[in-house]
Amino acid sequence: MARRSKDTIERRLASSWNAPTVLPEDVDGTGCGHPRACLATTYTFHAGFFESDLLPRFLGLRFDHTERERAFVIERERALGAVQATVLVDQEHVDGSQSTLRWDQMPVDVPGGVQHAKVSVLMWERCVRLIVASANLTRQGYRRNREIAGVIDFFDSVQSAPRSLGESVLDFFEDLLASGWVRAGNEAQDRLVGAVGEIRRSLRAWRRMPADFTPRELPRVAFIAGLPARPGRGQRSPLGQMITQWGARRANDVTVMTPFVGESAESQRKVIERLKEVTTGGRIYNRLVVP
């Protein structure tokens, strides 16, 4: 079998930060329009990679190595002046090599835990893109590792993903900010609140977008965010929320893909027992995929 080049692997993940080239015919205007907001969370982080590769893709910039790097940086700074970009990073992995204050890097200090989510929301004038991935915003995550990523687009069309899915992602960003774990100044937090609000207003203004999945629509997608307990709020278990979403239906096939299989036999047993709640009766196919 021919070996895939690094460029081939990169196109599959980093290119998801490029604006979609084609939208349904019933979307007003041509293309996605100008970039408006970029929100992302990550555990480990390479600020240089974000600035030199991911942000330019989102902004629609192209770096020509035959040109001077200074000209490219000036163009990037100008484009960032019209965009709100924020990256929420685990407290222990903030990258001080950030070279410009045109975007916000905000530490997240989770008591007794870590900020491990990898969620990106990219907004252009006529399209919002959601990327949920296993990859951190690092060169390793985007160029070398084998990772999984789901990419879903929202736009003013009956062909769009439903509004409820997009709003549940924005709820996660608001919950994270309201938790008190984000260690950033008031101005930076206000910019994040403003960006979330702008994206939410766009989703609500797109009237042709479906409000939700229809009762029999398949496949269905749900965004599930795990959050530890905090004052006044209980723990939000990803597995518990998944089981609640699934409801009383019986699953015939369950696949779990994770690099984490539990630090002890007891922790593994608890997960297996919870999964049994949706696999009652009949012949069940269970798969655990690990490195």
For residue 272, give the H/E element and its range.
helix 265-275
Domain 6-205 has CATH 3.30.70.380: no
Highest mean pLDDT among 42-46, 68-72, 282-286 belongs to: 42-46
Give me 176's structure tokens. Answer: 């994270």
Q: How many CA atoms lie within 13 A of 170 on its CB side?
A: 24
Task: Supply the DSSP symbol for 200.
Answer: H
The more confidently predicted of residues 23 and 174 is 174
The predicted structure's pLDDT at residue 3? 45
pLDDT tens-digit readout, 23-48: 888 777 778 999 999 999 999 999 99
The predicted structure's pLDDT at residue 67? 56
Neighbour tally for 17: CB within 10 Å? 22
User: CA-CA distances (angstroms) from residue 140 to 74, 94, 188?
Assistant: 27, 16, 28
The predicted structure's pLDDT at residue 2? 42
pLDDT tens-digit readout, 127-137: 999 999 999 99
The predicted structure's pLDDT at residue 269? 80
The predicted structure's pLDDT at residue 41? 98
The predicted structure's pLDDT at residue 261? 67
pLDDT band of 64, cuts 50, 70, 90: low
* Sheet strands (E) in 177-281: 253-257
pLDDT tens-digit readout, 186-219: 999 999 999 999 999 999 999 999 999 998 888 8
Question: Average pLDDT over the chain, rounded to whole?
Answer: 87
Among residues 47, 71, 75, the alpha carbon closest in space to that of 61 is found at 75
Highest mean pLDDT among 71-85, 157-171, 258-272 belongs to: 157-171
The predicted structure's pLDDT at residue 229? 84
Kindly report the backbone phi and psi dihedral angles of residue 202, in degrees, each rounded to the nearest multiple of 5, phi listed first: -65, -45
* Sheet strands (E) in 134-290: 149-154, 253-257, 285-289
The predicted structure's pLDDT at residue 4? 46
Domain with CATH 3.30.870.10 in the chain: 6-205
Among residues 37, 212, 53, 190, the alpha carbon closest in space to that of 128 is found at 37
Task: Supply the DSSP symbol for 172.
Answer: H
